[in-house]
Every structure is written in structure tokens, then in C-alpha cells.
Structure 1
Amino acid sequence: MSERKGPFKLVTVNTAPERAKRVIGRLIEALRGDFDIEHIDNCESIDQVVPTVTKHKPNVLFCASMWTAEEAEKIQTLARSVVPDIKTHAIPTGLQVERGPDGVVEYLVGRVPVLLES
């Protein structure tokens, strides 16, 4: 039996904090056997990224699918300005709209283990 990896402190950047909480809750549940992930906060705007990352020093940050590629890049750059080795991932723009929360969870379950192990 392999050891669970973590703990990982996760911050999300999502204008819909309740949806972020639900989707990430499902992700955490799906990966619980292998990873110890704690969703510690959500930023509802780009302006909240630096203060939130400064406060919590997370090691993982996800950008939700409502951000454009340019906004997601800015968010990730801001996060790295505070925590240089933070692992970041931007969910593709529009994924929530196209495939709904199930599609986002399925997408993340496929990508997050590789990100966390990198």
C-alpha cells in the first residue's frame, strides 16, 4: 500500500465560491486514497490572489474555467510571485459551461495526480 501524498494546501480562483467548493470537494473525495488535499480558500477576483496566497502559502492553485487564458496566466504569475514553487493549473476556459461540474471533476481527476506528483 502506497503512502498518501501531501498534505497539499489548495487555493482556487473562482467567481462562484460555492461551486468551487462543491467541485473541489468532489475532486478531494475522488483522490482521497492517494492524496491529502485541503481546500483552504477561494479568491473571487484576481485582486485577491496575492493577499490570499500571502496569507495561506498554499502549494497548489487552480484557476476556474471562467477565466481567459490571459487572465489565468496573470493569476498564476501573481501566485508564483509570492510562492515561487506553487503548482498551478488553469481549467480550460469554458469547460464548466460545456461539460458542467461533472465534466470539470472528471477533467481534474485525470490531470491533478500528474500535477501533484511533478
Structure 2
Amino acid sequence: MTQPIGPFKLVTVNTAPDRARRLIGRVVEDVKERYTIIHAGNAASIDKVKSVVEENKPDVLFTASMWSPQEAEQIIAIAKEIVPGLRTFSLPQGLQVEKGPDAVVEYIKEHLPSLLGQS
């Protein structure tokens, strides 16, 4: 049995912090054999991104599906000014609304290997 890779510190940018925590909790549980992910914090608005990223110095940042592609780019630009090598991942706009939380969890899990590197 190989050790999971990580730990990766994750910050989410989601206007619904409880939902972000729940969804990420499911992802973390589902992938714990392969990756160690710590949900370090959540920025509930674009204005909060800078302070949350400065405080947590994450390895990974996820933008939720309520952000437009332009807003996601803005969020990522702010975060990368603070943590230049930051890995980022943006959920497609509307995914949560159109397909629900299970689709979000699956989408993240599907893309984690390319984001975090294969073990």
C-alpha cells in the first residue's frame, strides 16, 4: 500500500461556505487513499480572497461554479500574486445548479490526478 500524496492545503472560493465544506469533505473522504487534502479555508467573496490566501498559504485553490469564467480568472490572479506556484481549479459555471452536488464531487475527483499529479 503506497502512502497518499500530500498533504495539500486547499482554499475554496464559494459564497456558500457550509456547502463548500460539505462538498470538499466528501471529496477528501473519497480520495484519502491517494491524496491527503486539508480544507484550510474558504473565501466567501472575491474581496476576501487576498486575506484568506495570505492567511492559509494554500497549495491548491478551487473556485466554485457560481463564478463566471471572468470572475474565476480574477480570483486566480489575486491568489497567484500571493502564492505564485498555486495550483488552481475552476468548476464550470452552473455545474452545481444544473447537475447538483454529486456532479460537483465527481467532477473534482475526475480532475484531481491532473491537478495534484499522479501517485
Give the TM-score normalised by structure 2. 0.96
1:114, distance to aligned residue in structure 2 (A): 1.5
Q: Report the equivalent of 1:43.
A: 43
1:3, distance to aligned residue in structure 2 (A): 2.3
1:2, distance to aligned residue in structure 2 (A): 2.2
1:58-97 aligned at under 5 Å gives the runs 58-97=58-97
1:22 is aligned to 2:2? no
**When the two structures are aligned, how many residues end up with a matched partner?**
118
Query: Runs of 4 or more off by more than 4 Å in structure 1?
Result: none
Q: Distance in 1 between matches of 2:31 and 2:114?
A: 12
Identity %: 52
Q: Distance in 1 between matches of 2:2 and 2:115?
A: 18
Q: Which stretches in structure 2 are left out of the alignment for 5+ residues?
A: none
Q: Distance in 2 between matches of 1:18 and 1:113?
A: 25
Give the TM-score normalised by structure 1. 0.97
Q: Report the equivalent of 2:4.
A: 4
Q: Which stretches in structure 1 are left out of the alignment for 5+ residues?
A: none
Secondary structure, aligned partner of 2:21:
helix
Q: Distance in 2 between matches of 1:42 and 1:23?
A: 12
